[in-house]
Structure 1
Amino acid sequence: MKIFTTLAMAAALGATAFSAAAQEVKTLRVGSWLPPHHLIVSGILEPWAAAIENETGGSLKFEIMTSSLGPPPAQFDLLLDQAFDVGYGVSGHNAGRFTMTQVMDLPFMSPDPWAGSAASWLTYQKFGAEYGEHDGAHVVGLFTHSNPNINMAKGRIETLADLEGKTIRVGGNVTGRMMSELGASPVQLPPTEAQTAMSRGVADGITFPSESIDFFGITPVISSITRIPGGLYTDTFWVAFNQDSWDALSDGERAAVEKHSGMAIAMLSGFAWTNGDTYGEEKLNAQGVEFITLPEADVAAAREKLKPLETDWLAQASERGYDGDAILQYARDMVENYRSDKSVNVVK
């Protein structure tokens, strides 16, 4: 009887220990510099984290931070310094640091967020490890935003000539150079100041996707929007683990992350930006905003005017020892494979 009781107690204690081990939860902090309702957080990061949590039976959890530990350009260094386990950011916020991944930032590289995001990830997957731009971090995803438009508070852009003398708010130096090459005068302002700037005549318009026009409350001052077929420009975003945090995961946990990362993040991005633009355009249409499409001849002229940006990127890639021609061609090939407007119906 005593033996049975002892064995029973031992078994019970063993079961309790096993249950505690089985329920052990590993929580990873995700650094975030955007509000929780932003598309990138609610439409990409949260579904991604939820899929991994479900895959691991809840043993791996993600805590997405609700306040930023630093400005957007500081995010990659904060990740390397282990301020958080997982981070995300914009490659272009660190000029000259992520040359290879910024191939998708060149003019007319991303015709839609599906193609741009898929191409950015696949190009990184092919060349990223070789060039080591993200040493100290383990990149699990890259994606691009949707096509930007020229959104005007004053005036209409029907042709490239209409940009002459117009002041256009831009988010960074690359977009500013594009506007300069196309004849406009760029002014760099935070998006939160764009509506006030256009209301006061400081800027005539702004380059932004429709989703962002709505998100930043700019819709009320917009009168016309010019679409540029082929995608004038884009920004490339990265999602990465600190290398030590990645190495601390079990083989099963890493497999779960990889299953729902890479192309899965690219596709989440395509869904999120497409749906976000649809929502934003509904708001713009309700306000009676006029949508204009830049004529084909002007699109061709814009491509020609912006060729120097590609030349400069190739020179920068060469200086860093990269095979720029190979990277650029592969990225373009992947864009063609994944573009959303590709015809798949065969007519006999």
Structure 2
Amino acid sequence: MKKTIYKSILAAGILSAGVATVTPASAETTLTLSSWLPPSHPIVANMIVPWTEQVAEATNGNVKVKILAKGLGSPPAHFDIARKGQADVTYGVHGYQPGRFLLTKAAEFSFLGDKAEDVSVAYWRTHKKHLEAANEHEGVQLLGVFTHGPGQMYNAVRPISSLADLKGLKIRVGGGAINTITTAMGATPLLKSATKAYELMSHGVADGTFFPKESIKSFKLTKLVKYATIIPKGLYNVSFFLVMNSKKFDSLSDGDKAAIMKVSGENFARISGKAWDVADAAGVVAMKADGVQIQTASSALMAEIKAKADPIEQAWVDDVKEKTGLDGAKIMADLRAEIANVAAGN
């Protein structure tokens, strides 16, 4: 009897060991992604979705990303949604949380570049070189930073040919540097997320909005906006993040983590930048079709803007030095040089 029991235990042990040997080295993981924009928006359709497909391919199907049908909170809440693990992955705008992020403002100042691809790729490279060590994204794994196309002026009241034309206008802005720039130019900034632009303008709460060209089409503003003033290299820009909950990232295999980072970072910056440049071109077509009057800023207006924007950038440089010890002027010089480098094909 004892021999029979012993043989049974031994056989079970051998069977268990055999089963263990065929267990996959990396089990399939499905990550949840909370999105606060509609599925048709270029960020989702042409940036996030292609990235999720690349994640699945790079990890040989070990990691898949599921975009939730509905966002788990307001746009400003999305950094913390990932940090707290309510969703595994989120994207969002640094400027939607005033005072939380300092160094990412480097990508928000005036006259950076005419293409989102150039600025986004250069921004990622500059972040790796200068900003990463400061760990402003504590609590999450930073997968990417990127920008939209150069920000421009839109309103329903009058053409903007000088800063005097902005005086008294209420302008929806997305936060960050443009909030301060708008005040300096004489307009009243209304700090609201992009998704609120139609509501604000259609109800007459806002006279206009500062946006990339894409957004006038994406947020259905072509029949509300009457005047567009295009600022070469942009009046401003907006810094975006793509992040994953740190614990979730750490739970993945080393191979899957490396594969995800390979398709993130600079690769994602290039994906998003290219998609935004295409969307900006489509935005111009849509504005022209609906009769928006588009003009390019004169040299006189450019000089007026520069006189207001330069001190704001310098104030940031001083703030960075005081709070982090970093050389903000060097960061901006390297960012602008890298944008030119990327534009040259490097």
Distance 2:199 2:255 in 1: 50
Distance 2:199 2:26 in 1: 52
Structure 2 partner of 1:78 = 81
Q: Percent identity?
A: 36
Q: 1:181 aligns with which of 180, 184, 187?
A: 184
Distance 1:190 1:239 in 2: 17
Shift of 1:179: 2.1
Q: How does 1:1-348 map to 2 (within 5 A)?
A: 18=22, 21=24, 24-172=27-175, 174-189=177-192, 191-195=194-198, 197-199=200-202, 201-323=204-326, 324-339=328-343
Tell me if structure 2 keeps the 8 A contact 1:112–1:231. no
Shift of 1:66: 2.2
Tell me if structure 1 keeps the 8 A contact 2:144–2:264. yes
Shift of 1:88: 1.5
Tell me if structure 1 keeps the 8 A contact 2:108–2:178. no
- The secondary structure found in structure 1 opposite 2:257 is helix
- The TM-score, its normalising length taken from structure 1, stands at 0.86
Tell me if structure 1 keeps the 8 A contact 2:228–2:295. yes
| Residues 211/313 of structure 1: CA separation in 2 closer, same or farther (3 Å cut) | same
Distance 2:45 2:197 in 1: 23
Tell me if structure 2 keeps the 8 A contact 1:31–1:68. yes
| Residues 87/300 of structure 1: CA separation in 2 closer, same or farther (3 Å cut) | same
Identify unmatched segments of 5+ residues in structure 2: 1-13
Shift of 1:52: 1.6
Distance 1:159 1:126 in 2: 38
Tell me if structure 1 keeps the 8 A contact 2:82–2:88. yes
| Residues 168/298 of structure 1: CA separation in 2 closer, same or farther (3 Å cut) | same
Distance 2:227 2:52 in 1: 38
| Residues 334/208 of structure 1: CA separation in 2 closer, same or farther (3 Å cut) | same
Identify unmatched segments of 5+ residues in structure 1: 1-9
Tell me if structure 1 keeps the 8 A contact 2:214–2:281. yes
Of the structure 1 ranges 136-145 and 78-87, higher mean CA displacement relative to structure 2 is found in 78-87
Distance 1:198 1:262 in 2: 35
Tell me if structure 1 keeps the 8 A contact 2:79–2:92. yes
Tell me if structure 1 keeps the 8 A contact 2:147–2:239. yes
Structure 1 partner of 2:5 = none
Q: CA RMSD in A?
A: 2.6
Q: How many residues in Structure 1 have an aligned counterpart in Structure 2? A: 331
- The TM-score, its normalising length taken from structure 2, stands at 0.86
